[in-house]
Structure 1
Amino acid sequence: MAVAVARHAPFAVAVLGGAWLRWTAQRGYPKGLWFTGDSYFYIGYALSPYPSPSKTLGYPFLLRLMEPLHSLGSVTALQHLMGLGVAVMFYAVLCRAGLPAWAAAAVNVPVLYDAYQIELEHLLMSEALFTFLVAAALTLLLWRVRDPRAGPPWWAALAAGLVLGYAVLVRSAGAPLIPVLLLCLLVRRRGWRPALAFGAAAAVPLVAYAMWFHSERGTYALTTSDGIYLWGRTAGFADCARIRPPSHEEALCLPPALKAERDAPGHLIWRSEIPPHVLYASVVDPEANTALRDFAVRAILAQPGDYLRAVGDGLGMAFGTHREPHPTENTEALYHFPRSPQFFPGGRSWGGGHGTALSDAMRYGRTDTPSEVVRPHADRMIDYQRHAYLPGPALGALFALGAAGIAVAVRRRRAVLMAWGSAATLLVFPIASADFDYRYVVPSAPFACLAFGLALSSGWAAWERRREGRRVSRSSGSPGSLPRGTDRATAP
């Protein structure tokens, strides 16, 4: 017992430090932090659930379950526990993979101590829940990682599929994770049974949500907003002379004056003068969504080099040495702990009901002040965030080492591929389908850490096998040993 306690002591200390930082954030911002627009949307739809054409409602479902508490602080506290839970799950997987406990603890340091991870957990946003659910699904699939020949049992794959299916309802950008992990399961010999259980279970929450969406909006879908986001991704480089779209889509090309402004896609799509808003009464109507998606796909196929260059620019910002004001300076500022209470706009309904951002926040939290800043705790988090975060080049190094691990970690290749594939999908897909945003980068980091740790575990296991071989060799050649095949009873 004492040996086990001593073995896990470094991680226990690390978790306590991470918990203390999150407790400081709770004291500094007891009502949580608000992301302009999105947080208001989530609270509004938690109060009045109704399928939205722009976002799935997996996160508002959780908020609705917690609404009887009338405590904004309880939501952020739960999200911080989820952040700690991700580190605990990945630590357990790495220990089961054979990595020394101290090394498994070190690999999880960015998960526990990155200030931007902590700030994102404190925002009333879906990322903390989404990251936790994906981590839980991956933990279920990797629990038998010690044996490279054993995949997950069918029941674990089924549970992982259900969890990941719900994660897609929290953030629809997680949808590509299902085929990625499904392929990873299928590459294993006799992996069809867990793969079938995983795929069927993942479909259950999605089909149920699509049926609800159809009952209210007349079309089977999770959202009808992917078209405008993909249009924004391609509008900056789309050239109608090269695309040659059908006549009803020609007007979707961005005018030269707007193209010359080089506005970020994440900001461009909200401007009232862009073609989609001029042509359609609502860009999230099914017909408009189909046309916008079709135009964007034509642009990608006609100009693949320009599209890859745009995605590459986003990855360059993710791995850059300093943070860019992208998509706008105001948006990037929302990922920093603020010095003063946040402003709530009035006169507009952001959710399924008729309340404004302020009235919905007051109703949900039963408070007249839904944003508070308490010193000196807030000042401590502000100072901490200046210095303690995972730099872009370090994140890039984690991705590079994880990719190298896929090639060299023979006995852990499938496990490393699962973790690295999840990290890469979470990072690349939002950039490729919408725009670069730092809140899309942060959730990928824990999975990059896991991939790196699993690759290390393979190297550690190989080193231990060589060390054991040398020990046995020395033992067999020691004075007190006998040559192989000698009968001790007949030896002189």
Structure 2
Amino acid sequence: MSAARLQRLKTLVREHKLFSAALAVGAFLRLLTVLGYPGALWFAGDSYVYLGAALRPQPNLSKATGYSLFLRALLPFHSLTLVVVLQHLMGLAVAVMIYVLLRRNNVSKLWSTVATLPVLLDGYMIEDEHLIMAEALFTFLLMLATLMLLWRRDIKWWTALIAGLLVGYAVDVRTEGAVVLVLFPLFLLIRGWMTHGWKHLSGWLAAVVMAIGCVIPVGAYAGWFHSRTGHYGVSEATGFYLWGRVSSFADCAVIKPTGREALVCPTQPLTKRTPPGNFIWHAPEVHTDLNSTGGPVDPTNNQLLTDFAIHAIEAQPLGYVKTVVKNTMLSFGFPRIAYPGGGTVYYYSFHLTYKSPHRNLLPPNNHVWIKGGTAYQDWLSYGHQAPGRVINVFAAPIAVYQRLVFTYGPLLALIFLVGLGGLFSLRLSRRPREIRLRWAPRGTSMLPWVTAVALLITPIAIADFDYRYLLPVIPFACLAAGLGFAPAKRRTGPQDGAGDQSPVLAQEIDSGATSGVPTSS
């Protein structure tokens, strides 16, 4: 590193001391994780599908394998440690993007730093970054697209296109986030209307170009899926998971299913059904009874399960709404519970051993989901190192830390409420003999807050609640909450025209020069 760059880095650290300290702590915690758990951690069958599809590229009927393309790109290094280090760096980069966006919107250094703390310090988020799972990449891609959309108010067409490509690939990585394919272009359309009116072409052009960018990766994956299966799509598991969702309230006497749908209507008493995220893996209606016709992720059976689930929702709409609301409230509960089951949440914590009489977190040597190798063989083939090694001197501190420091449910609820308040700016108008309060919509925080809500509710609405599904939600909720501390009347900045400097970059670009925007802390 040249002396000039080193000096620039020192200047950045000095000018942003609070955030630099928080970033250093977050980096240290991730370093402990990498040292304590060489290689990577494993999550049941999901990790095996991703690794198997990385070694033998192919779409999978049960889940999109866009994340496997990321793993495939790193395959020449044969290092799972490299994979998780990059995922940890993505987590840190998400915090940096939040901080930069907040400072650009004139949020103080204190509140900008506070908004990044759940991302930097949440023990469960750090553990998830160390798993062979898709959340870290998905969150990074979406946050990068958000940064591009919010950086300037008048967005260039090529910026909209690149952001769209990022969003589209993010959906290939994690299909539960498909709702963003609509949200992001719609945001550009609404912001264009709020800025220029409906008749101005710039808002329409940006939204259309971004929509095209979103469709390209998803369409390419759907074409690849069709070439292997004969069906356009990203998976054949939609009906399987939606069937699980309705299993929490479905009453055959009310639904009155006919034909083959009667065969998949759950007959167990409601009080004896486990949560959907656990029930679907054991229910005979979707395993034993459908095995003779291709299983639950067969195209025909996928349509059957989807049709039944839709009929169940139509017959019991109140039951559906109640179960979605009830599960959503679990996001804000305290303490954390073993939902949807103890076996699932066990994977979300650091442990000092990965093979015990009660739990075996090592990839099995007899489990084949992607033809061509077992889970254990694929692990060795990709990483060239045996799984399950733990260095206790480093692992013990991070394992204890995770159980104490994370985003508690009530705290997440508070973050959402602050973000909701940040959607509007309260302006106090003082005139002779009157005081008026006027609410003015704040468009900047609209995208991250609505994205957080959508990422929270959508998986619950189509599958079930899972604590892992909260991890992509937290950064966007924090960004929205931080924007609530932006001044009600923004100073003129780069989003509104050229020739101005953002507060976070003003001194870095021209130290000592005045740009018309003070760098307040």
Task: Give TM-score scaled by structure 1 length.
Answer: 0.89
| Residue in structure 2 matching 1:251, options 251, 260, 263 | 263
Could you tell me which residue of structure 1 aligns to residue 85 of structure 2? 77
**Cα deviations across residues 133-178 of structure 1 (Å, max 9, x unaligned)?**
111111111112xxxxx34222221111000000000001111011
Q: What is the deviation of 1:102?
A: 2.6
Give the aligned partner of residue 429 of structure 1.
458
Aligned to 1:470: none
CA contact (8 A) 1:411 1:458 kept: no
Q: 1:5 to 1:76 in 2, by over 3 A?
A: closer
8 Å contact kept, 1:232–1:434: yes
What does 1:321-340 align with in structure 2 at a 5 Å threshold? 321-340=334-353
Does the 8 Å CA contact 1:231/1:295 hold for their aligned counterparts? yes
1:418 to 442, 447, 466: 447
- How far is 1:377 from its partner? 0.4
Question: In 1, Cα distance between the equivalents of 2:36 and 2:211?
Answer: 43
- C-alpha distance 242-449 of structure 1, shift in aligned 2 (>3 A): same
For residue 290 of structure 1, report the CA deviation from its aligned partner: 1.1
Letter in 1 for 2:252: C
Given the alignment, which residue of 165, 169, 175 partners 2:178?
175
SS in 2 for 1:457: coil
The answer to whether 1:360 aligns with 2:378 is yes
SS at match of 2:423: helix
- Partner SS, residue 124 of structure 1: coil
Residue of structure 2 equivalent to 1:101: 109
Cα gap change, 1:311 to 1:332, in 2 (>3 Å): same
Task: Say if 2:13 and 2:20, in contact at 8 Å, map to a contact too.
Answer: no
Residue 40 (structure 1) aligned to one of 44, 48, 59: 48
Tell me the residue number matched to 1:52: 60
1:169-318 to 2 correspondences below 5 Å = 169-188=172-191, 189=193, 190=200, 191-257=203-269, 259-271=270-282, 273-275=284-286, 277-279=288-290, 280-318=293-331
Contact 1:412 1:454 in 2 (8 A): no
Q: How many residues align?
A: 454
| Residues 263 and 285, structure 2, Cα contact 8 Å, conserved in 1 | no
Provide the identity percentage: 42
Pick closer, same or farther for the CA change 1:33–1:248 going to 2, 3 Å: same
Q: How does 1:112-151 map to 2 (within 5 A)?
A: 112-144=120-152, 150-151=153-154
Larger helix percent: 1
CA shift at 1:3, angstroms?
A: 7.3
1:14 is matched with: 22
Tell me the alpha carbon deviations over residues 392-412 of structure 1, each in whole angstroms, 9 at most, x when there is no partner.
000011111212222437676
Structure 1: 5+ residue stretches without partners: 145-149, 463-492
Q: Does 1:90 align with 2:98?
A: yes
Equivalent in the alignment of 1:475: none
Which residue does 2:399 correspond to in 1? 382
Q: Deviations over 1:6-47 (max 9, x none)?
A: 331221121111111100100000111111111111111111
Among residues 419, 441, 444, which one is paired with 1:402 in the alignment? 419
Q: Does the CA contact (< 8 Å) of 1:7 and 1:102 recur in 2?
A: no
Residue 346 (1) aligns with residue 375 (2): no
Amino acid at match of 2:339: H
1:159 aligns with 2:124: no
Aligned-pair CA distance for 1:424: 0.8
- Check whether the contact 2:181–2:214 (CA below 8 A) recurs between aligned residues: yes
- One-letter amino acid matched to 1:417: M
User: Do the aligned residues in 2 keep the contact of 1:127 with 1:443 (CA within 8 Å)?
Assistant: yes
How many angstroms apart in 2 are the aligned matches of 1:13 and 1:401?
24
Cα deviation, residue 461, structure 1 = 4.7
Do the aligned partners of 2:424 and 2:440 also contact (CA within 8 Å) in 1? no
> What is the rounded CA distance, in whole Å, between the counterparts of 1:15 and 1:3 in structure 2?
16
Q: State the SS of the aligned residue for 1:408.
A: strand
Question: For 2:474 and 2:328, how far apart are their aligned partners in 1?
Answer: 13
Q: CA RMSD in A?
A: 1.8
Q: Deviations over 1:89-133 (max 9, x none)?
A: 111111111112232112111110111110110111111101101
Distance 1:334 1:26 in 2: 17
Match of 2:501 in 1: none
Measure how far apart 1:455 and its partner are: 1.5
Secondary structure (helix, strand or coil) at the match of 1:182 reads helix
Q: What is the DSSP-based 3-state SS (H/G/I as helix, E as strand, rest coil) of the residue aligned with 1:187?
A: helix
In structure 2, C-alpha distance between the alignment counterparts of 1:73 and 1:211, rounded to whole Å: 32
Q: Give the 3 Å change call, closer, same or farther, for CA 228–92 of structure 1 in structure 2.
A: same
Asked if the contact 2:236–2:299 (Cα under 8 Å) also holds between the matched residues in 1, the reply is yes
Alpha-carbon distance in 2 for matches of 1:460, 1:91: 20
Q: Which range moved further: 324-333 or 163-172?
A: 324-333
Q: Is the 8 A contact 1:349 1:355 kept in 2?
A: yes
Q: How much has 1:382 moved relative to structure 2?
A: 1.0
Instruction: State yes or no: 1:451 paired with 2:459.
Output: no
Question: Which residue in the other structure is 1:488 paired with?
Answer: none
For the residues of structure 1 that align with 2:334 and 2:102, how far apart are their CA atoms?
Answer: 29
Q: Distance in 1 between matches of 2:287 and 2:403?
A: 40
8 Å CA contact 1:412, 1:455 repeated in 2: no
Cα deviation, residue 202, structure 1:
0.3
What whole-Å deviation, never above 9, does each CA across 1:257-279 have from its counterpart, x for those lacking one? 4x441211111111152346413
User: Structure 2 unaligned runs (5+)?
Assistant: 1-7, 194-199, 355-360, 427-438, 492-521
Does the 8 Å contact 1:32/1:72 carry over to 2? Answer: yes
Q: Structure 2: how far apart are the matches of 1:268 and 1:209?
A: 30
Conserved 8 A contact 1:272-1:278: no
| Counterpart contact for 2:169–2:217, Cα < 8 Å | yes
Q: Deviations over 1:406-425 (max 9, x none)?
A: 24376762221100011111
Paired letter, 1:43:
L
Q: Is the 8 A contact 1:231 1:293 kept in 2?
A: yes
